[in-house]
Structure 1
């Protein structure tokens, strides 16, 4: 039996996390072991609490510890707007910006013929149900600018045609972006979405 079997197993598990490879995982585990009392033990305890309590919001698909998340229960956010995102990471990114003050709907992915993901595999039916139930006046499609993301946006737009106002996020040159570093698609989208000064 190896004296480092458990440590090696922890490194292997950490290496599977997004953004960590084997070397980064090894450094992180070594750091945690050195700071066992201050970081490793509290981290292990917090991870167990999250494992025991984390769940998807029954209404929007966000992740939290209650059946309905804080955003969905906040009466101030019931302003008639729903921002549709692909996954929870996108919702969290939108919240970091603090610009959107409405509610969200997490689809759980995008339509994909190659991966055999259809509308019934996503949370599209729940979105359609929410439109009437929550008196939604505007649906903001904040899906990624990929082929699957745009296909999903078009499908949702077809389903909601003449029911609500549909908008999407602007696409184009980011603040601080330099034209020389942008791809052709981004430049084309920015040119098509130009506005008068």
Structure 2
């Protein structure tokens, strides 16, 4: 139950931040339609992918899955997709950082006035939100994998994450007989 709540909060927060990145990157593309910044195009692609796939993950895992047992395949599949997403967000943040350093000298946006200041700040927002989303998704992916590989056998799953023949693994436990004196 806690995993569903944490998943919902993290994916919803990431979804909201991706909408912000999409809007700002769309504005950066709109002001230079012929010679656009490549990091803005990457940010649009990655944020669009996030906006399209994260609601699907939320719907499948919260509404369609009624049982409390979350299968290993579902967790590993989700962690695999999230790993791809945090790599893309890291690339977006790195490209935004590179573009900000190439177009604006290091010292911040305070030396610019008017429209240049606004554009400089938009570069910084895309950069910051990309890194924030990267950190959130990386942490959540690591948490999912730790959860998966440290689950015990109470759920009917083995520690390696497999389910034998569609049923929970059943192992016989041998207990020692009580010691007798005599």
> Shorter-normalised TM-score: what interval?
under 0.3
Give 1 or 2: higher strand fraction: 1
Larger Rg computed on CA atoms = 2
Q: Which has the higher contact order (CA 8 A, sep 6+)?
A: 2
